[in-house]
Amino acid sequence: MDFASYSEIALDLANVEPYDDPDDDGLLDVLRTHFPKMAKRLNDADLPPLRELHARLRTIMQAEDEAVAVEQLNILLLANPINPEISGHSHDDGREDQWHLHLSRDTASVSAHAAAVSAMGLTAALIDHGFDRRGTCSHTTCHDVYIDGSPGGTRRYCSDSCQNRANVAAWRARKRAEAQQDASAET
């Protein structure tokens, strides 16, 4: 079972903006991206549970107290039982993958499947990396959450894009300060 991809689904759902009232299209787009075959089953009834899932995932990822995060994650796990199944995939070139474990897609709704997958993926990632590896992006205009899987636990940004923007902004600020210092030294 590829828990890494399942935790990515959880983080993608948690990071739909605006964070306090997520955009319905944004939530649905995450599901269309991660579950293209199931997307045909999406309907308006999926939206309230998706909004609730989004809020719970944000709470789990931003809780300062690890016990609160664990409690919220346990609530999510108990409310969304998993149904594992053995699966294989056929490729266009006729090649078959080895058998592996998936969470069954035979749930009542797409939102229920997303909740079960998110709960399992986030649980596995946080157990593997530790609850202290939850983070919120340090970029001034981004508040996306992430799980720090770096060896030293030094990650500060949700993505390379945010890290690069922050580095460029810091470089520009240093250059401005140097230019101002040079200008004042000349006078």
User: Looking only at Cα atoms, what is the longest distance across the chain?
Assistant: 75
**What's the pLDDT at 4?**
77
Q: Given this model, what pLDDT does residue 97 score?
A: 72
Instruction: Spell out the domains of the chain, with CATH numbers in brackets.
Output: 3-131 (1.10.3300.10)
Of 156, 183, 182, 150, nearest to 170 by C-alpha is: 156
- The reported pLDDT for the residue numbered 136 is 96
DSSP state of 65: S
Mean pLDDT across 152-156: 92
**Which band of pLDDT confidence, cut at 50, 70 and 90, is reported for residue 31?**
very high
Collapsing DSSP to helix, strand or coil, 93 comes out as: coil
What pLDDT does 127 receive? 94
Mean pLDDT of 140-154: 93
Statement: residue 2 has pLDDT above 70: no
Give the pLDDT band (50/70/90) at residue 128.
very high
Is 90 exceeded by the pLDDT of residue 105? no
What's the mean pLDDT when you consider all of the chain?
90
Contacting residues for 117 by C-beta, under 8 A, at least 6 apart: 6, 9, 10, 103
Tokens of 33: 């991206």
Q: Alpha carbon 132 to chain centroid distance?
A: 16
β-sheet bridge partners, residue 85 = 102
CB 145 within 8 A of CB 14: yes
Q: pLDDT-derived band of residue 141, with 50, 70 and 90 as boundaries?
A: very high
Quick check: 84 pLDDT over 70? yes
**C-beta of residue 75 within 8 angstroms of C-beta of residue 110:** no
Strand positions, DSSP E, the chain: 84-87, 100-103, 134-136, 145-147
For residues 47-62, give the mean pLDDT. Answer: 96
pLDDT at 124: 93
Is residue 59 over pLDDT 90? yes
C-alpha to C-alpha distance for 70 and 175, rounded to whole angstroms: 45
pLDDT band at 37 (very low <50, low <70, confident <90, very high): confident
Distance set, CA 107 to CA 63, 112, 139, 178 (Å): 29, 6, 38, 60
Q: What is the mean predicted confidence (pLDDT) over 174-178?
A: 91
Q: CB–CB of 9/117 below 8 Å?
A: yes
Average pLDDT of span 92-121: 82
What span, in angstroms and rounded, lies between the C-alpha atoms of 144 and 158?
A: 6
Confidence of residue 90 (pLDDT cuts 50, 70, 90): low
Position 82 pLDDT exceeds 90: no
